[in-house]
C-alpha cells in the first residue's frame, strides 16, 4: 500500500478525529484523547498547520496517522524529538516504519543543525519500541519514573538516531 506524507489541511478533521479520538491509539501518547470535532479542528489549526514538521501519513491523500519532528532550541538545537501515531485499523503493516524512513531523511535535510533524533517511549509500549529497533535507533537506556502518562508515573525508554547512523531498510 503506497503511503505519502504531507502537511495537514483543515479538511483532515474527520479522519484526524478517527485516530486522535481513539483511546487505544492515545493510550501511551503524551497528548490526551481528542473528544470532539471542534477540539480536533483547533488542534489542526493551532498546532499541526503552523508546526515546522507535522505531517499527515496518508493513503490516497486521506489522513491515517501523524508524524512530527520537533526541533529543539538554544543549546539543544542539535536534536529533535519524534512523535507518531497511526489509526488502529492500519497497525501491523509496517506503515509507520515506512513513514519514518521518509521523514527522517527529509528532517535531517530540513533542519541542518539537527544531528540527533530522539524518541522516548513508555516502557509498556512494545510496538513503538519495535518500530524504532527495526529502523536502527539506538536504545540508550531507561529513564526511571520520568513522566506522568495518563495519570501514572512511567519509566520511559530513550532511543536515538544520529544523522551519521544508517537507517535500516525494510526487513
Q: Does 29 bind ligand COA (CB under 6 A)?
A: yes
For residues 102 and 169, is the Cβ–Cβ distance under 8 A?
no
Query: Do 135 and 161 contact (CB within 8 A), yes or no?
Result: yes
When binding is defined by CB under 6 A, the residue of 1, 10, 127, 142 that contacts ligand COA is 127
**Contact partners, residue 127, CB within 8 Å, separation at least 6:** 91
The helix/strand/coil state of 162 is strand
Q: How far is the CB of 83 from ligand COA (least distance, A)?
A: 7
Give the shortest CB-99-to-ligand COA separation in angstroms.
8
84 belongs to the binding site for ligand COA (CB under 6 A): yes
Across 60-75, b (16+ Cβ under 10 Å) vs e yields: eeebbbbbbbebbeee
Single residue of 8, 16, 28, 108 touching ligand COA by CB under 6 A: 28
Q: Counting contacts by CB under 6 A, is residue 44 touching ligand COA?
A: no
Identify the three-state secondary structure at position 142: strand
Among 50, 74, 92, 112, indicate the residue that binds ligand COA (CB under 6 A).
92
CB of 169 to ligand COA, least distance (A): 13
8 Å CB contact between 34 and 21:
yes
When asked if residue 91 is in the footprint of ligand COA (CB under 6 A), the reply is: yes
Which CB, 127 or 142, lies closer to ligand COA?
127
Amino acid at each position: 500500500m503506497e503511503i505519502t506524507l504531507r502537511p495537514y489541511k483543515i479538511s483532515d478533521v474527520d479522519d484526524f478525529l478517527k485516530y486522535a479520538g481513539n483511546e487505544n491509539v492515545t493510550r501511551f501518547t503524551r497528548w490526551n484523547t481528542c473528544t470532539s470535532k471542534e477540539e480536533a479542528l483547533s488542534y489542526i489549526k493551532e498546532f499541526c498547520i503552523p508546526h515546522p514538521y507535522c505531517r499527515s501519513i496518508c493513503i490516497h491523500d486521506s489522513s491515517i496517522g501523524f508524524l512530527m519532528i520537533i526541533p529543539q532550541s538554544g543549546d539543544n538545537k542539535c536534536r529533535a524529538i519524534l512523535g507518531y501515531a497511526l489509526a488502529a485499523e492500519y497497525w501491523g503493516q509496517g506503515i509507520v516504519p515506512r513513514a519514518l524512513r521518509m521523514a527522517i531523511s527529509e528532517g535531517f535535510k530540513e533542519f541542518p543543525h539537527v544531528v540527533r533524533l530522539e524518541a522516548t517511549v513508555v516502557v509498556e509500549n512494545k510496538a513503538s519500541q519495535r518500530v524504532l529497533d527495526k529502523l536502527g535507533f539506538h536504545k540508550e537506556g531507561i529513564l526511571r519514573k520520568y513522566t506522568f502518562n495518563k495519570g501514572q508515573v512511567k519509566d520511559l525508554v530513550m532511543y536515538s538516531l544520529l544523522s551519521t547512523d544508517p537507517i535500516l531498510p525494510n526487513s
